[in-house]
Amino acid sequence: MIKVMSVVPSVESTPDPRELFVIYNRADRIFRRIVTSGALTSLILLGLIGTFLFVRSAQIFNDRGLKFITGSNWTAGSGDGVIPDDFSIGPMLTGTILVSVIALIIAMPLAIGGALYIEFYAASRLRKLLSTMLDLAAAIPSLIFGLWGVVLFTSFGERWSILLNSRFGWVPFIKVQAEVFGRSPFVAGCVLASLITPIITSVSREVFSRTPRDLIDTCYALGSTRWGAIKTVVLPFGRSGVIGGAMLGLGRALGETVAVYLLLNIVFRYNFRILESEGGNIASLIALKFGEATEYELKALVAAGFVLFLLTLVVNMFAATIVEKSTRRK
């Protein structure tokens, strides 16, 4: 006789879901272990970079404490103790931030304009060409930007500086003391701006192109102009992606070495007048002093590198979080 199974659901409660097990055999386990350890190298490497830089420079942080950050001198001692070593990165740290912020302020509107142009204004054939060239431009080595800056851009930069100084000289941070205009944070900032513009443009274009087409169509169906559609749909949609791209650009500008080295008069003094022919950043300090550094000075340079590492790491983690978030929702 056939036993009829109960069709009445059990009254007590719905059952807990069963736990499902995946059993990997030995080969699989070995494979997974190898792959996992391979993937962890980047993690370990990042840890190692931080650790080694810190360990090698611990003496400096120990000797000088907070003064390493806030002080304003970089003087190698005479060795016999007559002139003491005095290493601190204050002016270079502020210089790093100053130059990068100038670059970012210049680059942002250009990058957003460029990205909007490629996505929404250029004819389709031009769009393909431009976006390919843009990817290539983002890969131009910064050294070549430096060369271009030194040989070709500086004369423009100087002329703009003179103009700015004569018209806006009353603004505190634009006024200059000496009438020398080359190799200033402004000029270096302009070249850094052209260096990071392709990167920010590329990221922005990418997020703009992900705007759902039917939202844009809806704007047009409501009688909107192109700009109306961009303002209503594209910019809000792409905002976090653009911010992420800006952060990436900022990170790049903060850590830039050769372009700044070639374009800025590296002087150890706090300088916030953007047209003054003096400044510097941490990376160019390292490149400048590395060659003839004493052993103790080398440690100070490593310490400077550690500070730069932390600075860019924070900016980049921020950027990574934003970019990850904005590209995940599709």
Nearer of residues 83 and 227 to other proteins, judged by Cβ: 227
Q: How far is the CB of 174 from other proteins (least distance, A)?
A: 18
Contacting other proteins (CB under 8 A), which of 65, 79, 109, 169?
109
Nearer of residues 71 and 113 to other proteins, judged by Cβ: 113
Contact between 126 and other proteins per CB under 8 A: no
Contact between 274 and other proteins per CB under 8 A: no
175-214: contacts with other proteins (CB under 8 A): 194, 197-198, 201, 212, 214
For residue 295, which of 16, 53, 95, 57 has the smallest C-alpha distance?
57
Distance CA 208, CA 21 (A): 43
Contacting other proteins (CB under 8 A), which of 72, 224, 240, 265?
224
Q: How far is the CB of 89 from other proteins (least distance, A)?
A: 14
14-73: contacts with other proteins (CB under 8 A): 24-25, 27-28, 30-32, 34-43, 45-46, 48-49, 52-53, 56
Contacts of 17 (CB under 8 A, 6+ apart): none
For residue 296, which of 78, 52, 95 has the smallest C-alpha distance?
78
| The two three-digit tokens of residue 164, written as one number | 């700015």
Instruction: Using the rule CB under 8 A, give the single segment among 2-10, 177-185, 224-232, 266-274 that binds other proteins.
Output: 224-232
Contacting other proteins (CB under 8 A), which of 78, 294, 317, 325?
317
CB-CB contact of 255 with 312 (8 Å): yes
For residue 90, which of 73, 115, 107 has the smallest C-alpha distance?
73
Q: How far is the CB of 14 from other proteins (least distance, A)?
A: 25
Partnered with residue 7 across adjacent β-strands are none
Q: How far is the CB of 191 from other proteins (least distance, A)?
A: 8
Q: How far is the CB of 172 from other proteins (least distance, A)?
A: 25
Distance CA 12, CA 10 (A): 6
Q: How far is the CB of 134 from other proteins (least distance, A)?
A: 8
Q: What is the dihedral of CA 305, 306, 309, 315, to 10 degrees?
A: -120
* DSSP track, 34-75: HHHHHHHHHHHHHHHHHHHHHHHHHHHHHHHTTHHHH---EE
Contact between 258 and other proteins per CB under 8 A: yes
